[in-house]
Structure 1
Amino acid sequence: MSTDTYLAVFLGSKDSPKMAAWMGLPEAERKKKEQEGIAAWKGWVEKHQSAIQAMGGPLGKTKKVDAKGTADIANEMGAFTVVRAASHEAAAKMFENHPHFAIFPGERVEIMPVLPIPGG
């Protein structure tokens, strides 16, 4: 069984009800949940350390470049990481109950295979 590379993208909307509820928490409660989430995320990293190919990290503001030029835009992407797994299903299983959405107000993690460059 081969091991393949997968890109995991952490997504969530700044306008979602989950984010509104998070921002509506009293500051002390939100800070406590942030610390809980950070600890859980570190635990996730330790558990999957051997599979993490690139830690990735949080993503900042987005610029779109197309034939019309460059523009500031918003999207749902919040962070990314790259993992290696025996299958797409195995890669997805790593992210079940991830702190991104189990504790933090993120909505989902999308996992996709990194494919070879055609003709490469």
Structure 2
Amino acid sequence: MTMKPMEVTPVPRFLAVYTMKPEALASFRSLPKAEQDAVDAAGIPQWSAWEEHNAACILDRGGMVGKTTRVTKDGVQKAENQFCGYLVVEAETADAAARLFRDHPHFNVFPGDGVDIMPFLT
């Protein structure tokens, strides 16, 4: 009797994009340096703790991103959007992926406004 190999269904992957309104970033950057440093001192350990707690679900820690350059058929130009960082997680569903980010320091400590969760389709 020949045994069939068991099929392994991969766990779905999701792109998590940190968003922040440009005016919120500008407002944060206009604070005195000591106030910015105080937010960082409170938020960075919380962010690290969040990553440690969810390490089993994080496939790519991604990173924070800077100013946008957009390329179109008309050329290259500066652009503005709300994307400020990303990471890749795996979870059974989009809702499960979203639940990972409840109470995230990105919007509870830092001036971020949300995290957009999008499934990889291929």
TM-score (norm 2): 0.85
Matching residue of 1:81:
87
Contact between 2:43 and 2:109, CA under 8 Å: does it hold in 1?
yes
Is 1:46 the counterpart of 2:52 in the alignment? yes
Q: For the residues of structure 1 that align with 2:65 and 2:26, how far apart are their CA atoms?
A: 17
Q: 2:104 aligns with which of 95, 98, 101?
A: 98
| Partner SS, residue 42 of structure 2 | helix
Q: 1:6 aligns with which of 14, 39, 58?
A: 14
Is 1:69 the counterpart of 2:57 in the alignment? no
Contact between 1:19 and 1:105, CA under 8 Å: does it hold in 2?
no
Tell me the CA shift for residue 74 of structure 1: 1.3
Greater radius of gyration (CA): 2
Residue identity matched to 2:45: A
Q: For the residues of structure 2 that align with 1:26 and 1:65, how far apart are their CA atoms?
A: 35
Percent identity between the aligned chains? Answer: 35
Q: Rate the CA distance shift 1:27–1:50 in 2: closer, same or farther, 3 A.
A: same
Residue identity matched to 2:12: D
The runs of 5 or more residues in structure 2 that have no matched partner are 1-8
Contact between 2:22 and 2:81, CA under 8 Å: does it hold in 1?
no
| Partner SS, residue 109 of structure 1 | strand
Q: Which moves more between the two structures, 29-38 or 78-87?
A: 29-38
Count of residue pairs the alignment pairs up = 114
Tell me the CA shift for residue 32 of structure 1: 1.5
Offset from partner CA, 1:39-77 (integer Å, 9 cap, x none): 000001000001000000011221111110111111110
Find runs of 4+ consecutive structure 1 residues off by over 6 angstroms: none
Contact between 2:59 and 2:88, CA under 8 Å: does it hold in 1?
yes
The runs of 5 or more residues in structure 1 that have no matched partner are none
Q: Rate the CA distance shift 1:89–1:2 in 2: closer, same or farther, 3 A.
A: farther
Matching residue of 1:107:
113
Is 1:57 the counterpart of 2:46 in the alignment? no
